[in-house]
Structure 1
Amino acid sequence: MTDGDQQSGETAADREPAVGGAPVVGCQLVVAPDENVTQPQPQAARELAPAAASARWRRWPLWAGLAVVVVVLTCALPSVLLVGLVGDAAGRTATGDDAATAAARRVGVRLSAELDRQAAALLGGDRTGFLAIADPGARADLTRRYAALRALRVTVWRPTPDGVPSPVAGRPGEWQLTVRVGYCFVVPACAPASVVIGTRWRDAGEQPRLLAVEESRTGPAGARPWEVSDLVVAFGKRAVVATTPALRAKLPGLLAQAEAAAKVADLYAVGAPPPDRYLVFYAGRVEWRRWYGGGRPRWTAGYAVGVGGGHHDVVLNAESVSPTGVDDLLRHELTHAASLPDRGYSGKSTWWLVEGLAEYAGADGQPVGRYDGLPEVRKLIRGGWTGRLDGLAPADDAADDRVGGSYGVGYLAVRHLVDRYGEQRVLDFFRAVVHDQRSVEEASDQVFGEQWSTLHDDCVAYVRAVAG
């Protein structure tokens, strides 16, 4: 996309195709949408943890390494709305609920109806309707969320109460309710990602008022960018790139690079077709510390985090990305999004394989001798590396050269396997180990017809030979 493709005053709603129509093509820059434009409503990295993230180190100035954080997110599943029950004379319902629980269920029915009404307004481009259920004090936050979701072209928004509401202690007439939301962007028929959000309400009869919406509680993944930030968004055929208004000038170049990286990452999809869209968030200093919980190792330049439904969002650190480094970083992270299972993967022993495959994709076929991590690999080998691939994962506080050496060894080990067996068999091996959670010994015997102990030593010998 060039600057000439942008149109002054253009909104997300102006750009949005009718749901179910032809796929979005070309490169488009989108800002917060018009509140009154409507659109057709669609049819309806560490140990194993509740989300999946994998990160890449940086090698350039301000480009000092990557990390892997693997967590697993649960997917949003449709559920039946709670139905209020009338208590009997003894204060019990026909199902055994006491009077307080029965009252909470009746409140839950009303809250669920308001959430459904709000969802319909969001999907229909009706900002007034989206805000109508809210108390005035909650509208500023909801206005920002609405604008960000519309800018991302939300196509599915399915809120489901997670249990019954509970009274807020010390605040008569107020209720709190946890809501699980399944959502999709751009593509109407996707497997929804999911997020768990806390809400607080005031009971006002048949139309309860929404007092507050908390940041998401979905495990260590933390708050999604669209929950806490104003966003501008650019769309391509295979990638969507979003950032804050302050960094909007970066979008055209980032989108072009993400589109190119997506073509490479598509080749490394494992266990499922490639993602319908790769979603990339470009984070400034404040956003890097807040989006998805922040707290990444200081050497992290980017990561992919599982958000349910088979989707992985990618986040890049604007302060760490150099102009010469963004291409292979995007290939690396988008390959994580294409290759990792939704639930993440267990333990650090297969870190070399996960990061090695992403580094292999990031290198994009360049000769081994041009891999710019070779000096760090050489230093790692000479610095007393044990020679075990299952012990490569760097600590959060590891030095930059230790991190770079670890990624480099993973790359060279995967490169050796590809040179020997071809990409498809290596992807089969990856699937057996990372998706099916088989031991490397079993997977090696099944896929390569070799004992892993022998093949492991061959990989290490190759690493030592290349590094010199």
Structure 2
Amino acid sequence: MTDGDEQVSGPAGGSGAQPADPPVTGLAAPNGGASPRRRGPLWTALALVLALLACGVPGVLLLGLVGDAAGRSAVGRKDDPATAAARRLGVRMTAQLDRQASALLGGDRTGFLAVAESAARPDLTRRYAALRALRVTVWRPVADGAPAAVDGRPGEWRLAVTVDYCFVAPDCTPSTVEIGTRWRLVGEEPRLVAVEESQAKPAGTRPWEVSDLAVAVGERTLVATTPALRAKLPRLLAQAEAAAKVADRYAVSGTPPDRYLVFYAGQAEWQRWYGGGRPKWTAGYAVGVGGGHHDVVLNAQSVSPSGMGELLRHELAHAASLPAEGYSDRSNWWLVEGLAEYAGADGQPVNRHEGLAEVRKLVRGGWDGRFDSLAPADDATDDRVGGAYGVGYLAVRHLVDRYGEQRVLDFFRAVVHEHRSLDDAADQVFGDPWPALHDECVDYLRAIAG
């Protein structure tokens, strides 16, 4: 797999999964408050900071808190001029972001753009349209520290911001995104000159940051793509809604996602959305975006119309079953993917699974019979990938046939959510030793593969 930061699915019935870094959650209230508006002290402090930086004086750091926290931290102590100036400037920037958030949620494009310089408005206009199309219901920016001068850009400042956001559902646990904003002072007013693309793992750049989007919304899902692929949306939405009903059964934590988000990527978008760089055999993946949510991305160039339903069931099952922080033990890849493949099969007979031919090749081609070494490499052949997914499916299928779906979900929770060893989980959930069950599963799949 790639960097261990997402759940990835392979081509033509084969899929893949990878660990995810912990997303950040929380509903923080918008920062507010006023700051001193006297021109003299602010400009004196800023001039001092710039002069010190220009002279190469070490240790001049623009540190501090922003918004309400800034006011609380100032009680009982006196800041140096540089810190005080940076704090006041950060409060003004945060107030501008709060105004922009209110405009976004209120459908006021003019107000959304009003805080920005003209050079930033084309990008912001596109972002505004994409977020409105996604039915944004929560948008709460919180500054991460104080602004800092931008190297090589005199008079420009950078403020890191974390945004909590929701689509469609107003009472969801928000997803999060970390972005950089750049500002310039016009008189005493900070004006937004650029919003940077998010780069932080696990998710990377979101589709709504960089693309025009066409969107369709159903009862359980939201599907989005580029305007060029808009005609695909009605069928895609119908298939996603059907897949969601299956995926809801695999909510290991007990509560299904409030909404499944599915992004259908064209060739260029596949290379850019969520950082790109997927293994060449990937047809889709689920990536953690905070708040316990996992966005699903499908590769329009790889998935066939006949395989769309199975792929959606697989990926939405990842979104339902995985813990908020993803998973990090690559040796459990077979279980994570096996459960998703089982959901994708949706009760079809074992002999109809598309990966059986690849399973035979893998079993007869020197596989060591160990599940913990099953995960395919990024450059694995399609046969190796399909065989690995097929083995995972057959192992989970055998466990379900023997113990039932609920006990297998309990086993999955113990291993993937609670980080218990396979030995402990098998003893606790099944009442049988894992080494014997492992060998039993291997015998089963070898028999199926012939």
- Using the size of structure 1 for normalisation, the TM-score is 0.85
Is 2:397 the counterpart of 1:415? yes
- For 1:93-242, what aligned pairs fall within 5 Å after superposition? 95=77, 97-242=79-224
Q: Mind listing any 5+ residue stretches in structure 2 that lack a counterpart?
A: 50-63, 65-73
SS in 2 for 1:300: coil
Aligned to 1:16: none
> 1:68 is aligned with what amino acid?
A
Aligned to 1:325: 307
- For 1:325-404, what aligned pairs fall within 5 Å after superposition? 325-404=307-386
> 1:229 is aligned with what amino acid?
S
Aligned to 1:69: 18
Structure 1 vs Structure 2 CA RMSD? 2.0
| In 2: Cα distance, 1:56 partner to 1:126 partner | 39
| In 2: Cα distance, 1:176 partner to 1:47 partner | 29
SS in 1 for 2:326: coil
> 2:182 is aligned with what amino acid?
R
Aligned to 2:234: 252
| In 2: Cα distance, 1:207 partner to 1:125 partner | 24
| In 1: Cα distance, 2:3 partner to 2:122 partner | 38
1:360-390 superposed Cα distances (whole Å, 9 cap, x missing partner): 0000100111111100000000000000011
CA shift in 2, pair 1:82/1:256, >3 Å: closer
Is 2:10 the counterpart of 1:57? yes
| In 1: Cα distance, 2:203 partner to 2:92 partner | 30
1:282-312 superposed Cα distances (whole Å, 9 cap, x missing partner): 0000000000000000000000000000111
Runs of 4+ in 1 over 6 A off after TM superposition: 82-87
| In 2: Cα distance, 1:356 partner to 1:415 partner | 8
CA shift in 2, pair 1:107/1:385, >3 Å: same
Q: Indicate if the aligned counterparts of 2:202 and 2:287 stay in contact, CA closer than 8 A.
A: no
Q: Indicate if the aligned counterparts of 1:75 and 1:192 stay in contact, CA closer than 8 A.
A: no
Is 2:404 the counterpart of 1:455? no
Q: By how many angstroms is 1:76 displaced?
A: 4.0
Aligned length: 415
Q: By how many angstroms is 1:57 displaced?
A: 1.2
| In 2: Cα distance, 1:96 partner to 1:450 partner | 66
SS in 1 for 2:283: strand
| In 1: Cα distance, 2:293 partner to 2:254 partner | 11
CA shift in 2, pair 1:47/1:319, >3 Å: closer
Is 2:256 the counterpart of 1:300? no
Is 2:416 the counterpart of 1:467? no
Q: Indicate if the aligned counterparts of 2:30 and 2:141 stay in contact, CA closer than 8 A.
A: no
Aligned to 1:282: 264
Aligned to 1:312: 294
Q: Which moved more, 1:272-281 or 1:217-226?
A: 217-226
1:58-103 superposed Cα distances (whole Å, 9 cap, x missing partner): 138xxxx43323222422432784987999x9x9975464321221
Q: Indicate if the aligned counterparts of 1:53 and 1:305 stay in contact, CA closer than 8 A.
A: yes
Q: Indicate if the aligned counterparts of 2:149 and 2:155 stay in contact, CA closer than 8 A.
A: yes
Residue 270 of structure 1: which of 252, 256, 262 is its match? Answer: 252
Aligned to 2:410: 428
| In 2: Cα distance, 1:318 partner to 1:156 partner | 29
Q: Indicate if the aligned counterparts of 2:32 and 2:98 stay in contact, CA closer than 8 A.
A: no
SS in 2 for 1:366: coil
- Using the size of structure 2 for normalisation, the TM-score is 0.89
CA shift in 2, pair 1:95/1:204, >3 Å: farther
CA shift in 2, pair 1:397/1:309, >3 Å: same
> 1:326 is aligned with what amino acid?
M
CA shift in 2, pair 1:284/1:46, >3 Å: closer
